[in-house]
Chains A and B, each alone.
Chain A
Amino acid sequence: MKSGKFAAWAAMILGVAYFLAPLIATFEFSLRMRRGEYSFDAYRVVLASGNFRDSFFYSTVLAFVTIIVGVLVVVPTAYWVQLRLPKLRGLVEFITLLPLVVPAIVLVFGYIKLYGSSSILPLTATSLGADALLMFGYVGLGLPYMYRSVETALRSIDVRTLTEAAESQGAGIFTILFHIILPNIRSGILSGAFLTFAIVIGEFTFASLLDRPAFGPYLQLIGASKAYEPSALAIIAFALTWACMGLIQLFGSGVRFSVDKP
């Protein structure tokens, strides 16, 4: 019994150390900008930079839009596959896994070729079009995670019977999706949203090749040209990302649909 407890504690300490040690080391290094003493100079420099604020804001907004579009694409698809097309589940799962198999650089060159300025739909010709293209690219990158989270959540509820119960009460497909299905798979949507957010905030390849002012390319630029600021930036980005995830959690848990109250 005692040895079991010791092993459990040892495993936990090892796990925590594995994740915290690099963070602590990075944090410690970020404080060494002033020679001979610890200071927050690197943080001051980073936070004073307009590029940092703009790129982080850009990526945050893009992440939220990506999550919304991803949910709107994935939830009805996964719901419909589960309800009416269970035989297609394998095919849909395969399609959602493709972004893990096809390298991001291949995908983005494909996008540029398809939506370049000389194509029928020249999305890269305008700033807004390129932003939209980047967002759709991120929806694709987040697809494996969002689909799996939503699909697992859908499997945990009796989708067919709940749908039929709502239909027998006169509800149409949108009422069923937004008032019955979505609230009951909120945990799955939230975990998909966290993963999507984390992917979008740090993504470099898509943003760089589409020439968008995102946080990933900014991180890379600072990392290549400065010493202490990248460490400070990594810690700030880490904290801000977790804060945003906390906000998503808070917002997601707090959502109540008006129909919940008679």
Chain B
Amino acid sequence: MSFLALTGIRKTFGAHAVVRDFNLSVERGEFVTFLGPSGCGKTTTLRMVAGFEAPTAGEIRINGQDVTHLRPNKRAIGMVFQSYALFPNMTVAANIGFGLKVARRPAAELKARVDEMLAMIKLPQLAERYPYQLSGGQQQRVSLARALAPSPQILLLDEPLSALDARIRVSLREEIRALQRKLGITTIFVTHDQEEALSMSDRVVVMNDGAIEQVGTPSEIYNAPVSRFVASFVGTLNLLNGRIVDASSGAIDIDGQRATTARKLNGAKPGDILPMALRPEALRIGVGGDDRNTLAGVIEDVAFLGAVVRVRVRLAEAAVIIDTFNTGANDLPALGAPITVNFGRDDLIPLLAH
């Protein structure tokens, strides 16, 4: 039996359904991320788990208990908010100890737990400071410690890194993941940042327009996206229209050039047009061997991005982007020059037609 189970969840505001037919099982200790663009329903789903929103239909179970209509303060959840939501009238220590105080834990136990949490977030020297005296990163650490202090069943994080600058964001996400692994707490993380989702999660739930598009490990989501939406939302991507030539051998026509995919064609027949995904980093410049696909075109644009040089190659109607490592050579490819690119048969990913 899964630790957190969301079954047939639906949420409507008026006539508009913001979450539709949402089914998900999360195992104890798992780190699951809801990933999707703004308005896709990920935060609403998280808020239903927290109890801040009631589902219009469906059932939520935590550790076997039906909590669908249980008040948020009875669910034993810990929540971290994008805006930190620290209590301005309380010190850092009081903020962390709030949940324990509400639960009427003995003073000695409360103090010991607060000290433990302060040590865990490496901020014991800031115990008597007020939230306004802390940086954004420090506030979010305190918010995390406050959420974890009462030992909740589930930790919910609602875009906790969005308000932080890039460097702090990277270091804090590593800290959050390390803490989650150490404590083994079941965690739901909401983000619209695919890098955060891929780097932190055991599983990623990609959402679009209120429904789940795909659930899988970060590797599955990135390497085997099931839809155009997932493929384009997770990472940079070349989207090409492939006309099926021979479904059994995977032969495809791309802009008048022949290519082959080693992946299943989702039941497509010869003559069907199928969207195909091709990651920029899967492409190599030059002619490939017999087991690789080769396409010819001309260089349309070159962008120097530091570690990576991004080249756009015009095939005919379609164009593909290639990411190559910057090797230190001063000569960038010349615009308008003919070029051939190659990629593995497994790199050409057929997507669902919708």
Cross-chain contact A165 with B81 (CB below 8 angstroms): yes
CB neighbours of B88 from chain A (8 A): 157, 184
Q: A169-B102, A171-B102 known; A164 and B94 CB under 8 Å?
A: no
Contact with B along A150-172 (1 / 0, CB 8 A): 00000001100110111111111
Cα A169 to Cα B102 in complex, Å, equals: 8
Out of B51, B79, B98, B111, name the residue touching A259 (CB < 8 Å): B98
| Interface residues on chain A, number (Cβ under 8 Å) | 22
Out of B89, B98, B111, name the residue touching A169 (CB < 8 Å): B98
A183 sits at the interface (CB 8 A): yes
Cross-chain contact A262 with B87 (CB below 8 angstroms): no
Cross-chain contact A260 with B90 (CB below 8 angstroms): yes
Cross-chain contact A172 with B85 (CB below 8 angstroms): no
CB neighbours of A166 from chain B (8 A): 87, 98
CB neighbours of B77 from chain A (8 A): 168
CB neighbours of A259 from chain B (8 A): 90, 94, 98, 101
Give min CB distance, A63 to chain B, whole Å.
26
Cross-chain contact B96 with A170 (CB below 8 angstroms): no
Contact with B along A210-239 (1 / 0, CB 8 A): 000000000000000000000000000000
Out of B86, B103, B114, name the residue touching A170 (CB < 8 Å): B103
Cross-chain contact A262 with B89 (CB below 8 angstroms): no
Cross-chain contact A158 with B72 (CB below 8 angstroms): no
Q: Which residue of A lies closest to B51 (CB)?
A: A167
Cross-chain contact B150 with A169 (CB below 8 angstroms): yes
| Interface residues on chain B, number (Cβ under 8 Å) | 37
A175 sits at the interface (CB 8 A): yes
Out of B51, B74, B81, B94, name the residue touching A261 (CB < 8 Å): B94
CB neighbours of B103 from chain A (8 A): 170
B211 sits at the interface (CB 8 A): no
Cross-chain contact B110 with A158 (CB below 8 angstroms): no
Cross-chain contact B91 with A170 (CB below 8 angstroms): no
CB neighbours of A161 from chain B (8 A): 81, 83, 85
Out of A162, A170, A261, name the residue touching B102 (CB < 8 Å): A170
Cα A171 to Cα B102 in complex, Å, equals: 6
Out of A164, A172, A175, A183, name the residue touching B89 (CB < 8 Å): A183
B36 sits at the interface (CB 8 A): no
Cα A164 to Cα B96 in complex, Å, equals: 15
Cα A161 to Cα B50 in complex, Å, equals: 13
A180 sits at the interface (CB 8 A): yes
Out of A167, A257, A261, name the residue touching B73 (CB < 8 Å): A167
Mark B residues whose CB is within 8 Å of A. Answer: 50-52, 71-74, 76-79, 81, 83, 85-91, 93-94, 96-103, 110-111, 114, 146-147, 150, 156
Q: Please, could you name 15 A-B residue pairs with CB atoms under 8 Å apart, sorted by A?
A: A161-B85, A162-B85, A162-B87, A165-B87, A167-B51, A168-B78, A168-B147, A169-B73, A169-B102, A180-B89, A184-B89, A259-B101, A260-B89, A262-B101, A262-B110
